[in-house]
Chain A
């Protein structure tokens, strides 16, 4: 547990230095970054609202990462999940049916899984590299979304904006309070965290995946199929990302536009690693990452820091966190020169 502490201290030091050199008051900036966003109810709501998809997706991805299945295309799976869910929401014959939300949930999950099934199939059958395939499919998903909102799904009454019509009330998660955006979809994340813990810590399938990750030859020795690990890993990530996409359209967004995710799918990869691929760690990682998103916006608006500078600061923190982890397990040493 020393690593996060060291990382935080280092970040605060380097960050203060950076702000000071650029002429901002370090204390005020840090306060605006980490404290101000959380001292209102709305701030807390936003914090959880953004942490929720990050944690949800990271849980799904970590299942695969533990078995060395590298799904880095959660962003694409999220988009496809959002597309499918929104499609159901827009075109289901009865827009007031209570069935709508559950249907959209499954549509999102299944679409995310289907998108992830492509790299799974290719890796299991043809041993292609899932890193490349998942990443490339993300670009395809982005373009597909763009085409739909500019073309067939564009809202005819929308003044030519590239966006779909708004979803009906029955297609949306109810906010806890209409003043804030936080809604019931956070419970999905809570359940996902529990399932993730159950899967990785207790289930036999999760055990097999950890064997595949830690010692592939032992997995083969025991007869655990590599393809099972590939499929499980990718489908778990795809389902989680697809559901996160659904929760976005049925939550804060209410419709599709060309930009539906501020990079949750990519940030979740970092969240998974900050959380050391375990459920509890991922919750903390997601909360931290979400705070970085909020703090970054806050300092840009309140103190006029540039977007680039806030990104650098976020990068420093993540870098120290991951590096501190690394140096806990490995030691860097100077090797004496030989003659």
Chain B
């Protein structure tokens, strides 16, 4: 039997960097194959080449023994190859079903397709409403749309580039069941993830890339995650140091009775949210995506303002009516979950993206942008956070996902905030860099800053947080001390069963099926 996919000597370079260097590998039908590697190792580039969204400079690709000619995403789809991009490729202004319709090859009518989407997405534990517009969706929901789009096509080869980075644990369990079933039916799967436990659970074989080259192969089920991590990073992971926290007397941010209507009819209403974060501590906000996190974050960051100025106080000052820039003057910094288009301007160079929020740190003088300062500011972030980029001149969109995340986190930390809001801090970041970012967050808090981490990764929250809050259906639980609670308690709070009104059972649906 010929392999489902065979790559021979694939090479691809971008200005200043060889993203893929003579890569060969093959995947049999029904095999679940992991591609592992640090940020910027060239994984996404390789996947885009397999899918035809990028062209290799040299090398050949065979599908079922036949070379693929005139390779484009359309020819790939005709061959049964489907791909979930790391940075989603959805059209913002149209609905989910219209988006999916664009990628479906057979003829269809929208209503039937919508029904299929509803049915399939519920079956796979990733419920989505086909009639919602994509720009209203959270990243987690967009991820589900992408996956469902691929599953609808009954693919022969499925490429998943970090599909679980923003899925709930329950949805991940469901997804894995689905993937195993697909594999049992002969579908080959290429799976990229920085979450090594997932890789161990799911994948039969793995190829490890470093700096664009294949540096090894592994059988994840027979290896420990430390072994895998070493293969990827080429060194042992650093130990985390979490010293005990000494919280300040006064809270740095205080939220009192914050109530806000939903952004739109699919949003979540915030009901009487109260909590505080003191200097010197890290507070984690756990919750299933789509339970009001997006609303809460935009109200905390100042992207949305609130008429009742006192409902949010920063450093003792009423702040709910202030915009993001004014709150930053009070010492706030913020990392949003969308890195492209919100945390960074995609076509702008990194030095320009440094100016975006660091303009108060001497990057602007007499109303003019000081390019030299901006360049050296960006260069420092690149160095300190080991961002793989071709210097401060490279555009944000040319960076690999994890590297852009490192750059944004680095930029915000370099502002030396008193209050640090961060959503999904290690989303898409490799194990080595994730450990580094977590350590940096801990150090930042121990130096006196108040840190609020919004994350769906309970492991991460348990590793670094001093106290935990849980958000569910727009309500935030009282704080729990990390050392006095456990995953089960948090998990229960995250999926509190909604009595009576059935409009908001999303968290619930995710575990029921």
Residues on A facing B (Cβ under 8 Å):
198, 202-205, 207, 210-211, 214-215, 217-218, 220-225, 335-336, 338-339
B325 touches A215 (CB 8 A): no
Residue contacts A-B, CB under 8 angstroms, 30 given: A204-B359, A204-B364, A207-B352, A207-B355, A210-B348, A211-B345, A211-B348, A211-B356, A214-B346, A215-B341, A215-B342, A215-B346, A217-B338, A217-B341, A218-B341, A218-B342, A220-B303, A220-B324, A221-B301, A221-B303, A221-B342, A222-B357, A223-B302, A223-B323, A223-B324, A335-B74, A336-B74, A336-B75, A338-B105, A338-B106
A223 to chain B, nearest CB (A): 3
**Tier of interface size on chain B:** 20 to 34
Report chain B residues within 8 Å CB of A203. 367-369
B368 touches A202 (CB 8 A): yes
Assess whether B252 is interfacial by the CB under 8 Å rule.
no
A164 to chain B, nearest CB (A): 40
Question: In the bound complex, what is the Cα–Cα distance between A320 and B360 (angstroms)?
Answer: 44
B344 touches A218 (CB 8 A): yes
A218 touches B345 (CB 8 A): yes
B368 touches A204 (CB 8 A): yes
A221 touches B343 (CB 8 A): yes
Residues on B facing A (Cβ under 8 Å):
74-75, 78, 105-106, 301-303, 323-328, 334, 336, 338, 341-348, 352, 355-357, 359, 364, 367-369
A7 to chain B, nearest CB (A): 24
Question: In the bound complex, what is the Cα–Cα distance between A336 and B344 (angstroms)?
Answer: 36
Report chain B residues within 8 Å CB of A210. 348
6 smallest beta-carbon distances between A and B, as pairs: A223-B325, A223-B324, A338-B105, A215-B345, A217-B342, A204-B364
Known: A217-B341, A338-B106. A222 touches B324 (CB 8 A): yes
Report chain B residues within 8 Å CB of A202. 368-369
CB nearest to B301 among chain A residues: A221
Residue among A220, A222, A224 with max Cβ neighbours from chain B (10 Å): A222
A214 touches B338 (CB 8 A): no
Question: In the bound complex, what is the Cα–Cα distance between A221 and B341 (angstroms)?
Answer: 10
Report chain B residues within 8 Å CB of A204. 355, 359, 364, 367-369
A214 touches B369 (CB 8 A): no
A141 to chain B, nearest CB (A): 32
Question: In the bound complex, what is the Cα–Cα distance between A331 and B403 (angstroms)?
Answer: 29
CB nearest to B344 among chain A residues: A218
B92 to chain A, nearest CB (A): 10
B368 to chain A, nearest CB (A): 5
B325 touches A224 (CB 8 A): yes
Report chain A residues within 8 Å CB of B364. 204
Question: In the bound complex, what is the Cα–Cα distance between A202 and B371 (angstroms)?
Answer: 8
Question: In the bound complex, what is the Cα–Cα distance between A210 and B345 (angstroms)?
Answer: 10
Report chain A residues within 8 Å CB of B74. 335-336
A82 to chain B, nearest CB (A): 31
CB nearest to A218 among chain B residues: B345
Residue among A203, A221, A336 with max Cβ neighbours from chain B (10 Å): A221
Known: A202-B369, A214-B348. A222 touches B356 (CB 8 A): yes
CB < 8 Å neighbour of B106 from A217, A224, A225, A339 = A339
Report chain A residues within 8 Å CB of B327. 223
CB nearest to A206 among chain B residues: B369
Known: A207-B369, A339-B106. A223 touches B326 (CB 8 A): yes
Report chain B residues within 8 Å CB of A215. 341-342, 344-346
A334 to chain B, nearest CB (A): 10
Question: In the bound complex, what is the Cα–Cα distance between A198 and B355 (angstroms)?
Answer: 17
A295 to chain B, nearest CB (A): 36
Known: A207-B352, A215-B346. A223 touches B369 (CB 8 A): no
CB < 8 Å neighbour of B78 from A198, A207, A218, A338 = A338
Report chain A residues within 8 Å CB of B346. 214-215
Report chain B residues within 8 Å CB of A222. 324-325, 356-357
CB nearest to A225 among chain B residues: B323
Report chain B residues within 8 Å CB of A217. 338, 341-342
CB nearest to A214 among chain B residues: B345
Question: In the bound complex, what is the Cα–Cα distance between A207 and B374 (angstroms)?
Answer: 13
Report chain A residues within 8 Å CB of B105. 338-339
Question: In the bound complex, what is the Cα–Cα distance between A215 and B334 (angstroms)?
Answer: 17
Question: In the bound complex, what is the Cα–Cα distance between A309 and B117 (angstroms)?
Answer: 55
A243 to chain B, nearest CB (A): 22
Question: In the bound complex, what is the Cα–Cα distance between A303 and B347 (angstroms)?
Answer: 49
Question: In the bound complex, what is the Cα–Cα distance between A205 and B369 (angstroms)?
Answer: 9
A228 to chain B, nearest CB (A): 10
A205 touches B367 (CB 8 A): yes
Report chain A residues within 8 Å CB of B367. 203-205
CB nearest to A215 among chain B residues: B345
Question: In the bound complex, what is the Cα–Cα distance between A225 and B345 (angstroms)?
Answer: 16
Question: In the bound complex, what is the Cα–Cα distance between A338 and B80 (angstroms)?
Answer: 13
Known: A204-B359, A218-B345, A339-B106. A223 touches B78 (CB 8 A): no
Question: In the bound complex, what is the Cα–Cα distance between A202 and B301 (angstroms)?
Answer: 28
Report chain A residues within 8 Å CB of B336. 221
A199 to chain B, nearest CB (A): 10
Report chain A residues within 8 Å CB of B75. 336
Question: In the bound complex, what is the Cα–Cα distance between A224 and B334 (angstroms)?
Answer: 15
Report chain A residues within 8 Å CB of B302. 223
Known A204-B355, A221-B301, A225-B323; 14 more pairs at CB < 8 Å: A203-B369, A204-B359, A211-B356, A215-B346, A217-B338, A218-B341, A221-B303, A221-B324, A221-B342, A222-B324, A222-B325, A222-B356, A222-B357, A224-B325
B155 to chain A, nearest CB (A): 15
Report chain B residues within 8 Å CB of A198. 368
Question: In the bound complex, what is the Cα–Cα distance between A207 and B368 (angstroms)?
Answer: 9
Question: In the bound complex, what is the Cα–Cα distance between A217 and B356 (angstroms)?
Answer: 12
Report chain B residues within 8 Å CB of A218. 341-345, 356
A63 to chain B, nearest CB (A): 15
Question: In the bound complex, what is the Cα–Cα distance between A218 and B325 (angstroms)?
Answer: 12
Report chain A residues within 8 Å CB of B357. 221-222
CB < 8 Å neighbour of B334 from A211, A221, A225, A335 = A221
Question: In the bound complex, what is the Cα–Cα distance between A205 and B323 (angstroms)?
Answer: 17
Report chain B residues within 8 Å CB of A205. 367
Question: In the bound complex, what is the Cα–Cα distance between A234 and B303 (angstroms)?
Answer: 24
CB nearest to A224 among chain B residues: B325
Question: In the bound complex, what is the Cα–Cα distance between A222 and B334 (angstroms)?
Answer: 9
Question: In the bound complex, what is the Cα–Cα distance between A211 and B326 (angstroms)?
Answer: 18
